[in-house]
C-alpha cells in the first residue's frame, strides 16, 4: 500500500495521524501579520497534562507531532516536552521563528529532541524588510547567523515565508538567499486574518502582481522537475497527495491542532473549537466530540463544493478554515482562493506556450 493510500485511509477512517500543538502564544518577535489570537485567555496546559496528551497520542498511533506557537521555544517546558515527544517515538517538527535557535539551546534541541524538521520564518531578502515585518531590529541578521549555525549542527531546517505587500518585491532574493544557505523555502501566497477574525493583517496582503510574480518564479524554478503545479497546489499531510477520498482534507479526520489553553481545533487554520483537554482526554474528544463529527461531515460537503468548481478546482487550494475566517462559512469560496486559481491558470497557460527547446535562428 502506498503512503498516499494510507493517508486516504486515515482521512476516511478518522485515524489521527498528525497533531500540531501550540505551546504558547508568547513570542520574541512581534510580526505585524501574526495570525495568533493574542487576546485569547484560558488556563494554560500544564506539563503533566501534556505528558498525558502525548501518551494518549502514542497509543492512538499518531506519527507526526508539531510543536508550534507563538514561539514554542519561549515555553518554559519546551525541552522537556520535546524530549518526551522524542522518547515516545513521534516524528517531531518544530515551528519556530528561529530567533533563539542558536548556541546551547540549538545543541540541546538536536541532542535531546532530535527533530525531524525545524521550520523557521524568513520575511524578506533584506534586513530592512524582514525587520520591518518582525518589528525587531537585528532579527534578520540574527536569523541568518542562526540558520547557518543550525546547518553546521546538522539540524534539518526549512524556511517558511508568507508573501506580503512588503516583501513581494524581494521574492527572487529570498529564494536566492535560501539557495545560498542550502535550505528549502516554501512561500505561502496568502495573508490570513487573525484567529479571532481581526482582519488587520490583510492590510499587508500581497498584490495580484506580487502573487503572479511568485507563481511565475515557482514555475520557473520547478520547470526542471515535473509537476511544478504541485509545488503550489494543496497537498495532504506532509505534502503527500492522498488517493481519491470523499473528504476535501484531513482536518479533524487525520489531524488536529491544540492551543496553549487546551482547546482542540480540526486544523491550525480552522479555529472551530471541538473540545478542551482540561475537561476531556484527546481520546474522548476524538471519539465523541459532536463538533468533530460535524467537521468531518463538512469536509465531505467541502469536497462536493470544490469538485463542482470544475477541472481547475484543485488550483483554488481551498481551505475550509480560511473560508470560515474570510467568508463566514467553510463552504464559501473566498477571493484569495479564486485569485489563486485564476493566476495559476494564467501561468500554466504561459508555460504551455513555452517552447521545450530554445529556438536557434
Burial class from Cβ neighbours inside 10 Å (0-12, 13-18, 19+) for residue 156 reads middle
**Start-to-end Cα distance in the chain:** 51
Residue among 4 and 126 whose Cβ is closer to another protein:
4
Query: Binding to another protein by residue 182, rule CB under 8 A?
Result: no
Which one of the spans 21-29, 87-95, 101-109, 209-217 is the region binding another protein (CB under 8 A)? 87-95
Q: How far is the CB of 58 from another protein (least distance, A)?
A: 9
Considering only residues 264 to 283 of the shown chain, the ones binding another protein according to CB under 8 A are none
Sheet of strand 18-24: strand arrangement: 185-188, 157-162, 117-121, 91-95, 64-69, 18-24, 255-258, 263-265, 275-276
* Chosen residue from 63, 144, 153, 202 binding another protein by CB under 8 A: 63
* Chosen residue from 40, 55, 80, 91 binding another protein by CB under 8 A: 91
Query: Binding to another protein by residue 152, rule CB under 8 A?
Result: no
Which one of the spans 8-16, 171-179, 181-189, 196-204 is the region binding another protein (CB under 8 A)? 8-16
Which one of the spans 60-68, 74-82, 275-283, 294-302 is the region binding another protein (CB under 8 A)? 60-68
Query: Binding to another protein by residue 2, rule CB under 8 A?
Result: yes
CB atoms within 10 A of CB 164: 24
Query: Binding to another protein by residue 156, rule CB under 8 A?
Result: yes
Query: Binding to another protein by residue 89, rule CB under 8 A?
Result: yes
What Rg, from alpha-carbon coordinates, does the chain have?
20
Residue among 62 and 315 whose Cβ is closer to another protein:
62
Query: Binding to another protein by residue 116, rule CB under 8 A?
Result: yes
Q: Contact 150/106 with Cβ under 8 angstroms? A: yes
Burial class from Cβ neighbours inside 10 Å (0-12, 13-18, 19+) for residue 96 reads buried
Q: How far is the CB of 185 from another protein (least distance, A)?
A: 17
Query: Binding to another protein by residue 87, rule CB under 8 A?
Result: no
Residue among 88 and 332 whose Cβ is closer to another protein:
88
Which one of the spans 58-66, 159-167, 223-231, 333-341 is the region binding another protein (CB under 8 A)? 58-66
Q: Contact 161/170 with Cβ under 8 angstroms? A: no
Residue among 77 and 114 whose Cβ is closer to another protein:
114
In order of 62, 83, 256, the CA distances from 89 in angstroms are 9, 10, 18
Burial class from Cβ neighbours inside 10 Å (0-12, 13-18, 19+) for residue 177 reads buried
Query: Binding to another protein by residue 61, rule CB under 8 A?
Result: yes
**Torsion over CA of 258, 294, 52 and 21, rounded to 10 degrees?**
-20
Query: Binding to another protein by residue 314, rule CB under 8 A?
Result: no
DSSP strand E in the chain: where? 18-24, 64-69, 91-95, 117-121, 157-162, 185-188, 255-258, 263-265, 275-276
Query: Binding to another protein by residue 15, rule CB under 8 A?
Result: yes
Residue among 138 and 239 whose Cβ is closer to another protein:
239
Query: Binding to another protein by residue 108, rule CB under 8 A?
Result: no
Q: In the numeric block, which cell numbers belong to residue 345? A: 491558470
Query: Binding to another protein by residue 241, rule CB under 8 A?
Result: no
At 359, is the secondary structure helix, strand, or coil?
coil
Residue among 26 and 158 whose Cβ is closer to another protein:
158
Q: Contact 164/133 with Cβ under 8 angstroms? A: yes
**For 315, which DSSP code?**
G
Query: Which residues bind to another protein, rule: CB under 8 A?
Result: 1-3, 6, 9-10, 13, 15, 17, 61-63, 89-91, 114, 116, 156
Amino acid at each position: 500500500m502506498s503512503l498516499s493510500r494510507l493517508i486516504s485511509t486515515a482521512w476516511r477512517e478518522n485515524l489521527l495521524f498528525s497533531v500540531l500543538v501550540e505551546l504558547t502564544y508568547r513570542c520574541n518577535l512581534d510580526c505585524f501579520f501574526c495570525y495568533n489570537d493574542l487576546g485569547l485567555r484560558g488556563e494554560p496546559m500544564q506539563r503533566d497534562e501534556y505528558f498525558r496528551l502525548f501518551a494518549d497520542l502514542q497509543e492512538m498511533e499518531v506519527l507526526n507531532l508539531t510543536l508550534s506557537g507563538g514561539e514554542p521555544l519561549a515555553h518554559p517546558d519546551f525541552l522537556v516536552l520535546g524530549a518526551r515527544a522524542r522518547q515516545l517515538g513521534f516524528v517531531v517538527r518544530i515551528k519556530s521563528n528561529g530567533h533563539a535557535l542558536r548556541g546551547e539551546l540549538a545543541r540541546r534541541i538536536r541532542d535531546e529532541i532530535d527533530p525531524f524538521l525545524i521550520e523557521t520564518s524568513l520575511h524578506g531578502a533584506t534586513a530592512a524588510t524582514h525587520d520591518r515585518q518582525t518589528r525587531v531590529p537585528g532579527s534578520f541578521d540574527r536569523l541568518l547567523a542562526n540558520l547557518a549555525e543550525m546547518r553546521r549542527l546538522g539540524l534539518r531546517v526549512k524556511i517558511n515565508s508568507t508573501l506580503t505587500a512588503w516583501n513581494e518585491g524581494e521574492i527572487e532574493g529570498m529564494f536566492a538567499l535560501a539557495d545560498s544557505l542550502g535550505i528549502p523555502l516554501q512561500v505561502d501566497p496568502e495573508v490570513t486574518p487573525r484567529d479571532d477574525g481581526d482582519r488587520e493583517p490583510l492590510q499587508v496582503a500581497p498584490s495580484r502582481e506580487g502573487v503572479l510574480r511568485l507563481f511565475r518564479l515557482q514555475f520557473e524554478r520547478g520547470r526542471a522537475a515535473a509537476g511544478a503545479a504541485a509545488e503550489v497546489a494543496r497537498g495532504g499531510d506532509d505534502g503527500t497527495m492522498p488517493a481519491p477520498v470523499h473528504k476535501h482534507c484531513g482536518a479533524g479526520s487525520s489531524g488536529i491542532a491544540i492551543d496553549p489553553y487546551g482547546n482542540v481545533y480540526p486544523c491550525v487554520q480552522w479555529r472551530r473549537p471541538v473540545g478542551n483537554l482540561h475537561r476531556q482526554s484527546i481520546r474522548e474528544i476524538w471519539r465523541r466530540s459532536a463538533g468533530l463529527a460535524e467537521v468531518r461531515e463538512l469536509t465531505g460537503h467541502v469536497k462536493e463544493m470544490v469538485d463542482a468548481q470544475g477541472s481547475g478546482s484543485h488550483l483554488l487550494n481551498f481551505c475550509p478554515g480560511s473560508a470560515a475566517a474570510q467568508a463566514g462559512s467553510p463552504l464559501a469560496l473566498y477571493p484569495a482562493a479564486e485569485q489563486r486559481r485564476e493566476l495559476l491558470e494564467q501561468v500554466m497557460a504561459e508555460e504551455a506556450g513555452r517552447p521545450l527547446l530554445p529556438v536557434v535562428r
